[in-house]
A and B are shown apart, each in its own frame.
Chain A
Amino acid sequence: MMKKYIYTLLFAVALVGAKPALAQHAAYDMIVDGVKVIVQPSGNNIVEIQTVLRGGVQNYPASKMGIEAMAMRALTECGTLKHDKNSFKNALDKINASVYGYTNKDYSVISLTCIKGDFDIAWQLYAEAVTEPKFDATEFARIKQDAINDLKEQESQPDESIDKMADKVAFEGRDFAKEPEGTPEIINSLTADETKAFYNSILTRSRMLVVVVGDLDSNLIQTRVKIMLDGLKKGTPVEMKKSFFRVYNNSFKAEPKDLATNYIEGVTSGPLVDAPDFDAFNMAMQIFYDRHFLNIRTNNGLSYAPQTWFDVGSISVAKFIVSTTMPNKYIAVFDKLVDSTKAHGFNASELANMKVTYLTGFYYKNETNYAQASAIVDNEVMHGDWKRALTYMTNIKKLTLADINNAFNKYIGNIVWVYQGDPKKVDPVLYKNGTSHVGDNPVSN
């Protein structure tokens, strides 16, 4: 039984008038054997498929974190029932198709990218990887070493390392503190058999979502997905466990590292994905990014790449990150900026300009099939509404200054700060004191 729904690009028409916004046909969804399949025709010769398995860190205990990431890696690196690892990878090479799995804190994705003319061959390999992975023990031993190497590489990359440290410190005691990639010790202890058993436990129709971006016939998609799903258990649906993150006291934790500069990251609250002020806060953070850039980089030369962003998940948080040789000056400027923004708010031209930037960003993200598929996945899993990927600008248009100012004031509060670099260069007290909360006054700490 299949239901099919057709949706038009409401937002595009609303903003650009009669001119077609995108050179592609309307997206639609259908249910195939209980699994939602969302299709966005692409207007090009590339096919992108993303099959989602929901659950993320809910799927495993802290003692087994990394097991889902290893399962994703094993899908294409440990053979299938029909192909050993080499023949599987060689077949993909012949058509330059990419099949790989990855996981984050809320879900995993098994992705296929290929040229449309190669779809039949590519799909067969993809479906094998999803439904018939072999988890060959010899290959599994090899990829354990690769996974450990990858973890150590990530630890060597300052941007990745500081973000992992921030998550670990900020979410301590919560499920969300689990690191999906695991630790070298846990990875080393995993066996092929237990990872296979784990994968089979999460490979259920109730956890799945399939997104197709490509110019493929609807009946063809339906048929192929149906065959792929045949034999998979229905399983029990998994609900995203949304949780609000609140910081009760500013904190600061440093880790010495022999870096040429120092990395600093702060974590504070953000709205839940279904909160009414979600879009308002997202926009507030985008404008704050510009202010942060202007104050930190342009006006004070404190950092090459000052970043702020709204990190969305079952726990959504605001994050701030800089690399700087002057960490004490950074926090003084940051505190003053937050105080000023809270006291005086954003202004009308900032809001109007950011709406224009959102529009550019919307189309920019629609340039590739991969980005479109990812946006659809994200909106369906996080918001339960894939159409939001196409229509969110309608909500953005309605936002007022009061909306974004209220959201910023509501969520930007105490901050968990972490630091990697030279501890002698930083005064933790300045970070623990926090902003003055008295408006546009210099921070007195």
Chain B
Amino acid sequence: MVFKSIKHYVLIVAGLLFTTSTFAQLRLPDGYFWKQLPNGLQVVVIENSKVPLATVQIAVKNGSFTEDSVYNGLSHMFEHMFFKANKDYPTQAQFLKRTQELGAIWNGTTGYERVNYFFTFDTDSLNAGLKFLNAAIRFPIYRIEDMEKERKVVDGEFQRAESDPGFQLNFEVEKRVWGDLFTRKNPIGIHDIINTATPEKMMVIKNKYYFPNNSLLIICGDVHHESAFTMAENIFGDWVSSGSDPILKYPIPPFKPLVKNDIFIKESTIAKTPYMMFEWQGPSYATDSASTIAADVFSTIVTLNSSKLQQALVDKGLATNVSVGYLTCKYTGPIQIFIVPNPNKLKECYAELLNQISMWNNPDYYTDDQLKDAKGILLRNDIMAKEKPSSLPSQISFMWCSTSLNYYTDNTDDYQKVTRADIKRYLDTYLINKPFVGGMIISPDLNKTVNAASFFAAK
């Protein structure tokens, strides 16, 4: 599950290859259909005739989790170059013109463990749209002059983010949480790496990760699954497999656990009101999928208005907003608390937060009713999340990259099965008395008044 309300500035994560036995047990929601082509490309078709549109998406297990310091930010640059030029549309002007002919609404995202590309258009354009997607994913053209222009665009995206105090705080927190493997959780990258990106580096990424056996194609909308599978096979069937799992071939190193609390204050003139952020290394789908489910249930409990956390901080006027969330990842997801504190009560807010966290593992910290309400919210969230057909491909591809299709299908039911013991194990393993990173961003003027360092410190 993605962070629901926490301000976060990175998106996503990565995945797990199916084994043959997993395929035999594959579960999907009603109206969802799955097929694997001989080249390893998995195709999911979602029949949803709410509106006469089709959305096509291709998701690749790539992103910052595959990046060391030499490549940090280049999965994202690669994503930008997807929309630049290819053998069928050799310039970006031609590429854009084709999107306009298709009447397409399109975009791409790069996160921790997924890069995805998606187009929505009239359902009658499905075959043409799949051909367009195929040309872009398999036959990109990297010209040095195109890359020079796109470097500025990507770096401009980075600079926009850096102009936001929330991003500045998040960036510093993440650096400290992930230590020498920060690049694996930093999709936006490093300025110097972005500004020196070359066509050769793009080809290295393509030749490592952009294979059918490392990708998921989703076709969703007013479509019929059999004809959609036929189109997919006709168009993507000759995409050659790499023959081996890229994620196994290029292994992801494990994160080093935090060893002590790390609390910092960052001054910034653009922070017109202060923010606080706290982060722990949380569960990994690969090693503890049960805790990824318990994490979401607990986060929902402490977001209830009736929760002790919300009552102590928001109801009492110590904070405008407090959100708690866990981002599901195959490789260690972050648990994050984001607070917009009352600038007149920073010391009290911080002290109360620590007090609340210290009580999280008490059996009476939440009631049975609150556990039930949280599960009810997650049940209804699922109905709400499935309302918009064009958003379904991104939801399933996120889970495919970071967990599994079964995890996606069972997610809401699994929430209903979570017990107090599951939550206690999650809290004991990842939060209670575990080291964390805490940061506050504050304007120099306000800091002169409150001297944040006098109270916002490791204890």
Contacts and interface: CB of A to CB of B under 8 A. Distances in A.
Interface of A: 16, 19, 21-24, 43-46, 86, 89-90, 92-96, 113, 115, 118, 141-142, 145-146, 149-150, 152-153, 155-158, 257-261, 263, 290, 293-294, 297-305, 323-325, 349-350, 353-354, 356-361, 363-364, 366-369
Given A115-B380, A294-B96, A325-B156, A301 B103 contact: no
Nearest to A303: B156
B149 A93 contact: no
B101 A353 contact: yes
A90 B315 CA distance: 12
Contacts of A156: 164-166, 270-273
B92 A298 contact: yes
B340 A21 contact: no
Contacts of A325: 156, 159
Contacts of A115: 380, 383-384
Contacts of B387: 44, 46, 367-369
Contacts of A113: 384
Contact of B149 (A24, A89, A301, A323): A301
Contacts of B160: 158, 260-261, 304-305, 323
19 contacts: A16-B52, A22-B52, A89-B305, A90-B305, A92-B305, A96-B376, A113-B384, A258-B268, A261-B160, A297-B153, A298-B92, A301-B149, A304-B156, A323-B160, A360-B121, A363-B51, A364-B53, A364-B120, A367-B387
A354 B273 CA distance: 42
B172 interface: no
Nearest to A356: B103
A96 B344 CA distance: 32
Interface string B46-61: 0001111100000000
B395 interface: no
B159 A261 contact: yes
Among A45, A157, A364, max chain B CB count under 10 A is at A364
A150 B320 contact: yes
Contacts of A369: 387
B157 interface: yes
B163 A356 contact: no
Chain B interface bracket (under 10, 10 to 19, 20 to 34, 35 or more): 35 or more
- Among B97, B102, B103, B157, the most chain A Cβ lie within 10 Å of the Cβ of B103
B389 interface: yes
Given A86-B305, A356-B122, A367-B51, 13 more contacts: A21-B51, A22-B50, A43-B50, A90-B305, A93-B304, A118-B380, A145-B320, A158-B164, A258-B268, A323-B156, A325-B159, A366-B51, A367-B388
B162 A93 contact: no
Contacts of A145: 317, 320, 342, 344
A362 B315 CA distance: 41
Contact of B122 (A90, A96, A300, A360): A360
B52 A96 contact: no
B100 A357 contact: yes
In this complex, which of B49, B101, B104, B320 has the most chain A Cβ atoms within 10 angstroms of its Cβ? B320
B270 A359 contact: no
Contacts of B383: 45-46, 115
A17 to B, nearest CB: 10
Contacts of B101: 349, 353, 356
A46 B342 CA distance: 35
A23 B121 contact: no
Contacts of A141: 317
B128 to A, nearest CB: 12
Interface of B: 49-53, 92-93, 96-97, 100-105, 120-122, 148-154, 156-160, 162-166, 268-273, 304-306, 311, 315, 317, 320, 340, 342-344, 373, 376-377, 380-381, 383-384, 387-390
B190 to A, nearest CB: 14
B344 A367 contact: no
Given A46-B383, A301-B152, A360 B120 contact: yes
A290 B100 contact: yes
A93 B380 contact: no
Contacts of A299: 93, 149
A90 B153 CA distance: 46
B417 to A, nearest CB: 19
B51 A22 contact: yes
Nearest to B441: A156
A158 B315 CA distance: 29
Contacts of A302: 152, 156
Q: Which are the 10 A-B pairs with shortest beta-carbon distances?
A: A356-B103, A301-B152, A301-B149, A260-B162, A152-B273, A304-B156, A353-B100, A261-B159, A152-B272, A89-B305
A16 to B, nearest CB: 6
B381 A258 contact: no
Given A93-B304, A96-B377, A304-B154, A364 B163 contact: no
Given A364-B390, A369-B387, A304 B157 contact: yes
Contact of A258 (B93, B148, B269): B269
A157 B164 contact: yes
Contacts of B154: 304
Contact of A368 (B104, B120, B150, B388): B388
Nearest to A366: B51
A231 B118 CA distance: 51
Nearest to B48: A23
Contact of A93 (B52, B97, B377): B377
B93 A298 contact: yes
Given A96-B376, A145-B320, A294-B93, A260 B159 contact: yes
Contacts of B344: 145
Nearest to A302: B152
Nearest to B102: A356
A298 B105 contact: no
B159 A93 contact: no
A301 B84 CA distance: 12
A303 B149 CA distance: 10
Given A260-B162, A357-B103, A363 B52 contact: yes
A364 B93 CA distance: 25
A261 B100 contact: no
Nearest to A114: B380
Contacts of A360: 53, 103-105, 120-122
A389 to B, nearest CB: 14
B153 A149 contact: no
